[in-house]
Structure 1
Amino acid sequence: MIFTLKQMKVMKLKYLISRYIIIHCLIFFGAISASFGQTGDLQVIDKIIAKIDNYIVLKSDLENAYNDFLSSGQASPPDLKCRILENLVTNKLLVAKAEIDSVIVEDAEVDSNLERKLQYFISQIGSEERIEQYYGKTIEQFREELREREKEQLIVQKMQSVISEDVSVTPAEVKDFFESIPSDSLPFFSKEVTVGQIVKIPSVSEAQKEKSKRDLLDLRNRILAGEDFGTIAKKYSQEPAAKNSGGDLGFQPRGVMDPKFEAAALGLKAGDISMPFESSFGIHIVQLLDRRGNLYHSRHIILIPETTQQDVDRTIHEMDSIRTLIVNDSITFEKAAAEFSDDKGTSSSGGYFLDPNGANSMSVKDLDPTVYFTIDTMSLGSITKPLTYRRPDGKQAVRVLYYKKSKSPHQANLGDDYQKLYHAKLNQKRNKVIAQWFDRAKGEVFINIDEEYNSCDILK
């Protein structure tokens, strides 16, 4: 296919604007697919396609990232696969050079970033339980397997920052960048909105908790009387993965699991089963199977007490009091969300739904349909009365929605889309500086690309 100059310019603008939004998620979600050996039903026969010093790029890394990009619906350039491979090789080179130059990231930063991305991923999948059910792994195992990849990506970002720390963009450069695109070929952006929520999850009554504890005590007695722990877990545990794992969590390092769960497990002798106890996830009994230094092997059965209508009514009353404070200007919506909301995915952003790049202005097509149809009946600046709804995990909750801003569908323009254009131009300049760095650095470490990808001319 032959592209005209105008078409190529439009493709370049759309690619630059979308790339700065997608590229950070591209590696993360590609890592998720690679970690668990699947992208939908696609099966990739793996092999090493690039070696960079002591680091490698697998064929699955490339294929998973490529398919994730295509599934995002973004316009893709004809040489997309080569661009992704170039990005993967560049990332490994950045990591290799970071090791040489002693550039490191702190564990606390890795954990914080991983948790933020996981919360976004969970919001897209629906719930932690759905992730566990789909992959047959606990959320803790899921988190641990992604941690090294997240650490690598943070090192890449830190090296990129060091390399491009002097790069900046002026308003004049943004204006020139925008005006370089023919006016009849500017990209079209759908309606965008800024919507926030404050969520309260009804707390379970003590009576319901005691019922779960009694039920677990009965199960514990059956196991002590000779029944198999794994069989009981498969039948009764409300952890989705238990139906396959029998509640077995494998070896875990200290500091990964819920603190109350870990304390209960590590307080046992090998083979012992705890009395029922409560964690942030539900009511458990846990058996310690083995312990090796900082690692311990355990299995558990969890029951999740159900809320009653009385619990929901109490939460509605509590939420109505919070809403009254906001309406009377006694507290801002953002502060109330940070202080009172039980939804981790939005409370840290002042209650607002965020796009993958962290912006609180998002396309309506990316909103949950229930939220979209609700704000469609609202006026700007209004806040709903408490609404009951089902969370993606099926649990009932109460929330208020705040409709702050709306931006009509439009062609790209400097007034409405300055930030998108600014980041696109900034990313373009940074890419140029990093490409120049790559040309210099590639001679300092060993790099070998599989001949299957010679046409990409990455090393040229």
Structure 2
Amino acid sequence: MKKLFGLLLLFLPVLGFAQATKGKVIDGVISKVDNHYILRSDLDQMYYQYQNENQKNPPSKCQCLNSLIINKVMLAKAEIDSVTVEDRQVDGELEGRMDQMIQMYGSQKNIVEQFGKSIEQLKAELRSDVRNNLLVQEMQRKITSDVKITPNEVRKFFNSIPKDSLPYFPSEVQVGHIIRLAEVTKEETDALKQRLLEYKKRALAGEDFAQLAITYSEDLGSAQSGGLYQNVKRGTMVSEFEGAVYRLKPGEYSDPVETEYGVHLIKLEDMKGEVYTARHILLRPDYNRLDVTKATKYLDSVRTLLVDNKITFEKAAKEFSEDKATADVGGWIQDPETRSTRLALDETMDHSLYFTLDSMQVGTYSTILPYRSGDGKVGVRIIYYKAKYPPHYANLEEDYQKLQKIALSRKRNNAVEKWFKKTKAEVFIQVRDEELKTECSDVVAAYGQQ
């Protein structure tokens, strides 16, 4: 069982509109975890994808089965613990996948012809899987949030690797981008404010604000609890939100408050010094209907300055980019875990970025490209392809951050293993396929099934 955990605990089922598989796929339920099912096609899809990636030691079919079961356990536990993800996260992920498909197939029309379904049909089919995948990621985050690693642990990990088994890192790139988002018009913002003022009027007339939040708020992370933010320390929320909170007395309602997330109506429930409890209703604009013409023209002028060497990329990113995460570091896209600006040029890279770089030369700027943020905001971006580094065997000097990431991942795997051993008794787990029961007897035995 230890080998199974060591390799695949944090792998997620691969989601896409379609994945080519080798051999004949006979679909049917092979395993059940509470109310969730694993199909033969799920297992074959994962297994053959890893085989097709030409990894040195691709996971076995039993390891893939183990990964799928563990993910379903995390999904079942997420439901038990009332863990949620917001609709905007799901929408953003779906749109991101659509952008990847457009890069692969050239246009939406080609996608429709390839799969014989409309874009909306394809999105509808994927929506549940995407939401479940995000829930599993959120459970992983909760389980491993306190796991840290020291430099000494990283060195010990590296020194424990046999010389003939050192990781071989693929080509890496340094890439940056400058983003401009579509503007929300005053008319759209005013319409959202008017709706919130109506909800305020209803609350003042006696309606339960918590029920109004459950019904209308688009912050699904808090909507289910009546828009509740409980025992929030000062400085936690964005300044506009907290500025409104600290102008209220308990029981009072704010006027509509604009933040980067949308427009809020806030009710202060309680305040004790630097800690407060509040409820809110959040409304967001319909990002899919926003016009990117102005953002495109703006970014085109920035690109001209860059191409003519009238401004450096880092300065332009800090001055003009609306992506706060990268603007503060000169526009460079970083590995989210290691914060390194050297990104692996392989299948782990965002597909739209990967395909864009494939058609670019080092030292050049892309044309103006469509962009969608993780929370669904739309806009445009310029990509700067600064450098490319050759593949090599791992060493501490060049690859400390990557080795730290690997060592941290192993430590997180251990944390998930401990969590899983405590949790598996809370959910029903069954492998139904007789052939897999024999082939993967160690997996079946680990779940207490004969």
Q: Same fold (TM over 0.5)?
A: yes
Q: Which of the numbers 137, 143, 146 marks the counterpart of 2:123?
A: 143
What TM-score, normalized by structure 1, do the two folds share?
0.56
Question: Residues of 2 paired with 1:332 and 1:47: CA distance?
Answer: 54
Question: Residues of 1 paired with 2:161 and 2:436: CA distance?
Answer: 32
Change (3 A) 1:192 1:57: same
Question: What aligned pairs does 1:168-207 form with structure 2 within 5 A after superposition?
Answer: 168-196=148-176
**Do the aligned partners of 1:319 and 1:399 also contact (CA within 8 Å) in 2?**
no
Moved more, 449-458 or 190-199: 190-199
Question: Residues of 2 paired with 1:361 and 1:132: CA distance?
Answer: 36
AA partner of residue 442 (structure 1): K
Question: Residues of 2 paired with 1:51 and 1:365: CA distance?
Answer: 33
Question: Residues of 2 paired with 1:142 and 1:406: CA distance?
Answer: 36
Change (3 A) 1:86 1:334: farther
**Do the aligned partners of 1:70 and 1:76 also contact (CA within 8 Å) in 2?**
no
The alpha-carbon deviation at position 134 of structure 1 amounts to 1.6
Change (3 A) 1:318 1:124: same
Which residue does the alignment assign to 1:27? 14
Which residue does the alignment assign to 1:134? 114
Question: Residues of 1 paired with 2:135 and 2:343: CA distance?
Answer: 28
Change (3 A) 1:125 1:85: farther
Cα deviation per residue 1:216-261 (whole Å; 9 max; x = unaligned)? Answer: xxxxxxxxxxxxxxxxxxxxxxxxxxxxxxxxxxxxxxx9x9966x
Question: Residues of 2 paired with 1:402 and 1:195: CA distance?
Answer: 6
1:332 corresponds to 2:316 = yes
**Do the aligned partners of 1:338 and 1:351 also contact (CA within 8 Å) in 2?**
no
Question: What aligned pairs does 1:138-287 form with structure 2 within 5 A after superposition?
Answer: 138-196=118-176
Which residue does the alignment assign to 1:435? 417
Which residue does the alignment assign to 1:208? none
Question: What aligned pairs does 1:266-345 form with structure 2 within 5 A after superposition?
Answer: 319-321=303-305, 323-324=307-308, 327=311, 331-333=315-317, 336=320, 338=322
Question: Residues of 2 paired with 1:108 and 1:115: CA distance?
Answer: 10
Runs of 5+ in structure 1 lacking a partner?
A: 1-10, 201-254, 261-278, 282-312, 340-345, 392-397
1:361 corresponds to 2:342 = yes
Question: Residues of 2 paired with 1:68 and 1:50: CA distance?
Answer: 20
Which residue does the alignment assign to 1:76? 57
Change (3 A) 1:352 1:41: farther
Which residue does the alignment assign to 2:361? 375
Question: Residues of 2 paired with 1:108 and 1:375: CA distance?
Answer: 34
Moved more, 420-429 or 55-64: 420-429
The alpha-carbon deviation at position 56 of structure 1 amounts to 0.7
Which residue does the alignment assign to 1:449? 431
The alpha-carbon deviation at position 126 of structure 1 amounts to 4.2
What secondary structure, in the 3-state scheme, does the structure 1 residue paired with 2:55 have?
Answer: coil
**Number of residue equivalences:** 317
**Do the aligned partners of 2:368 and 2:382 also contact (CA within 8 Å) in 1?**
no
Question: Residues of 2 paired with 1:145 and 1:430: CA distance?
Answer: 32
AA partner of residue 76 (structure 1): N
Question: Residues of 2 paired with 1:65 and 1:330: CA distance?
Answer: 40
AA partner of residue 170 (structure 1): T
Question: Residues of 1 paired with 2:176 and 2:69: CA distance?
Answer: 39
Aligned-pair identity in percent equals 36
Question: Residues of 1 paired with 2:149 and 2:307: CA distance?
Answer: 41
What secondary structure, in the 3-state scheme, does the structure 1 residue paired with 2:77 have?
Answer: helix
Q: Which of the numbers 11, 24, 44 marks the counterpart of 2:25?
A: 44
**Do the aligned partners of 1:354 and 1:361 also contact (CA within 8 Å) in 2?**
yes
Cα deviation per residue 1:191-232 (whole Å; 9 max; x = unaligned)? Answer: 3221346799xxxxxxxxxxxxxxxxxxxxxxxxxxxxxxxx
**Do the aligned partners of 2:34 and 2:428 also contact (CA within 8 Å) in 1?**
yes
Change (3 A) 1:121 1:86: farther
Which residue does the alignment assign to 2:208? none
AA partner of residue 173 (structure 2): V
Change (3 A) 1:258 1:409: closer
State the superposition RMSD in angstroms: 4.6
Which residue does the alignment assign to 2:75? 95
Which residue does the alignment assign to 2:35? 54
Which residue does the alignment assign to 2:95? 115
AA partner of residue 443 (structure 1): A
Change (3 A) 1:175 1:365: same
AA partner of residue 23 (structure 1): F
Which residue does the alignment assign to 1:233? none
The alpha-carbon deviation at position 149 of structure 1 amounts to 0.8
AA partner of residue 444 (structure 1): E
The alpha-carbon deviation at position 427 of structure 1 amounts to 1.7
The alpha-carbon deviation at position 156 of structure 1 amounts to 1.2
**Do the aligned partners of 2:75 and 2:136 also contact (CA within 8 Å) in 1?**
yes
**Do the aligned partners of 1:325 and 1:331 also contact (CA within 8 Å) in 2?**
no
Change (3 A) 1:428 1:365: closer
The alpha-carbon deviation at position 151 of structure 1 amounts to 1.0
**Do the aligned partners of 1:326 and 1:333 also contact (CA within 8 Å) in 2?**
no
1:413 corresponds to 2:395 = yes
Change (3 A) 1:163 1:148: same
Cα deviation per residue 1:23-46 (whole Å; 9 max; x = unaligned)? Answer: 34x4224xx33xxxx626765221
**Do the aligned partners of 1:337 and 1:350 also contact (CA within 8 Å) in 2?**
no
**Do the aligned partners of 1:53 and 1:96 also contact (CA within 8 Å) in 2?**
yes
The alpha-carbon deviation at position 64 of structure 1 amounts to 0.8
Runs of 5+ in structure 2 lacking a partner?
A: 181-283, 348-352, 371-379
The alpha-carbon deviation at position 70 of structure 1 amounts to 1.6
Cα deviation per residue 1:305-364 (whole Å; 9 max; x = unaligned)? Answer: xxxxxxxx999777424645862679424654658xxxxxx99x9876889999763455
Question: Residues of 2 paired with 1:124 and 1:351: CA distance?
Answer: 26
1:426 corresponds to 2:408 = yes
Question: Residues of 1 paired with 2:340 and 2:114: CA distance?
Answer: 29
**Do the aligned partners of 1:322 and 1:336 also contact (CA within 8 Å) in 2?**
no
What secondary structure, in the 3-state scheme, does the structure 2 residue paired with 1:28 have?
Answer: coil
Question: Residues of 2 paired with 1:330 and 1:184: CA distance?
Answer: 40
AA partner of residue 186 (structure 1): L
1:404 corresponds to 2:386 = yes
AA partner of residue 101 (structure 1): D
AA partner of residue 120 (structure 2): E
